[in-house]
Amino acid sequence: MIVSFPNFAHWRVRLRLLLSGRMPVTRVLPHTWYDTPNIHFCTVKDFEALCQHKGIHILARDVVGNTEREPVLATTWPNLFATTAIYHITR
């Protein structure tokens, strides 16, 4: 199974939340918190902890940064720099 989600721990999301005190609306997350089609917001660390708790095996993880180049920062520190995470998982 393939799962992907926007990373709510990305530094720009954190900064916008810190400066405004409100859930961010961005190009990647274009909905207000009360009008989102997403059911649950999470971070890369949250998802990996959930997988471990539920006995789900992560076969592969890929991350998307906010540049078109190789996402070095997103790969090294995905919870802070990945805008989107993509997982290949199995039971």
Cα gap 7→84, rounded to integer Å: 5
Interval 46-63 mean pLDDT = 95
pLDDT of res. 68: 66
pLDDT value at 69 more than 70: no
Type of residue at 77: W
Question: What are the tokens at 89?
Answer: 């998982």
Question: In percent, how much of the chain has pLDDT > 90?
Answer: 47
Q: Rounded to two decimals, what is the model's pTM?
A: 0.78
Give the chain's domains with CATH numbers: 2-90 (3.40.50.150)
71: part of which helix (H) or strand (E)?
Answer: none
| Average pLDDT of the chain, as a whole number | 87
Angle (nearest 5°) at CA 67 between 64 and 21 = 75
